[in-house]
Structure 1
């Protein structure tokens, strides 16, 4: 049986932790497990986070893993990712690129619970 969350065209949503405002929609274009890939539709509220995603991308390109981890922590402390059915994703690592695409990996349980 195919997982509907992984289906091309399914839409994952990025929301603020507080107030539940949706700031981006991620329309799945493919998967290269464990990574998902999508086109990003930005919504009001996203622009506040664009510099953080750009900094994260630059840190990864420069292999500055400490700075990339700091960006990841800031993203996770402010934003929630939801499955297409609206349920919250327990843990995710999301990269939104300047070209309007995204890549992310996710897990049903917090990473700390997976790797104690």
Structure 2
């Protein structure tokens, strides 16, 4: 979610701990965020050289989103979206360390 707008829905289809993988169905708010997700994935391919840039971009994405589980909002998460595929990991505690060095 982005405020009250649906960014998309993820139907979990598999896991590769700690990652969950799913089919992504875009919602109305995804259109504005899709270029950020595309840029984020491009930076992952060059993370050694571009880590600070990736981190800044991902923080920009994360500030706009809330990941909602069936039990409620997830305090901390790392989410990637590519086309109709999404993968993410989450934590029940909010810590910046859980995001660092783990794209």
TM-score normalized by the length of structure 1: 0.77
C-alpha spacing 1:112/1:69, structure 2 compared with 1 (3 Å): closer
Rounded to whole Å, the distance in 2 between the matches of 1:36 and 1:71 is 22
Q: Choose the corresponding residue for 2:64, options 54, 72, 78.
A: 78
Q: Which of the two has greater helix per residue?
A: 2
Q: 1:43-82 counterparts in 2 under 5 A?
A: 43-63=27-47, 64-82=50-68
Report what 1:105 is aligned to. Answer: 89
Rounded to whole Å, the distance in 1 between the matches of 2:84 and 2:97 is 32
Report what 2:12 is aligned to. Answer: 28
TM-score normalized by the length of structure 2: 0.86
Cα distance per residue 1:70-97 (max 9 Å; x no partner): 1210111111001023x00000010111
Instruction: Tell me which structure has the larger Cα radius of gyration.
Output: 1
Q: Which runs of 5+ in 2 are unaligned?
A: 99-103
Q: Which runs of 4+ in 1 moved over 4 A?
A: none
Verify the 8 A CA contact 1:56 1:67 in the aligned structure 2. no
Q: Which runs of 5+ in 1 are unaligned?
A: 1-14
Aligned length in residues? 96
